[in-house]
Amino acid sequence: MTFENGAIIAAGDSGFSRVETDVCGIIDAPIEAVWNLFTDWSGIHKWFKAPIAPKDVVRSDLLPGQTETMLPRTRMIEFGGPDAAEPPVPETLLHTDAHTRTLYYRVEGVRPSGYRDYLCYVSMDATPDGGTALRINARMTAPTERADLVRKAITAVHRDGIIANFQRYLAAKD
């Protein structure tokens, strides 16, 4: 089950708009398993798979000299299929708090769809039945004429690429 909300916050005179997405879902897995999967920063290729996700991640490597225990740490994500020619996507994990189960990350640079300044806040809470409530809130800037398309695409990535794939991947591990 997922809940989603999103908005084009402000359309500026510069031709760019601020966009926000907010997706919440319940994952039938313990919070520790969900936390470990999300913070395994170089491991996204294990679970981010089509057809649930919009595309397959086929490789994800940390920048040279970085380890899974460092902050910040940047992964370079490579896609397969029709997007294989797209340059690797750098995503930097900025902050994690294992006590409050929160993290922040950003997507570096300008993406092919035109969005930029992407910053994501993730929080998770244990549910009474042993599952995990996962919330993904992202803000970015997008060309005004593409803002609604970007909002819908990022919402789908969070809902299908992350939440639904977490559910599929963790259920298969049981």
Q: What is the CATH number of the domain that holds 25?
A: 3.30.530.20
For the chain, how many structural domains are there in total?
Answer: 1
Which structural domain range is residue 110 located in?
A: 2-173
Quick check: helix, strand or coil at residue 45? Answer: helix
pLDDT in tens, 99-151: 999 999 999 998 888 899 999 999 999 999 999 999 999 999 999 999 999 99
Rounded CA-CA distance 56/50 in Å is 5
Rounded CA-CA distance 90/113 in Å is 15
Contacts of 87 (CB under 8 A, 6+ apart): none
pTM > 0.85: yes
pLDDT in tens, 42-98: 999 999 988 766 778 999 999 999 999 999 999 999 988 766 677 899 999 999 999
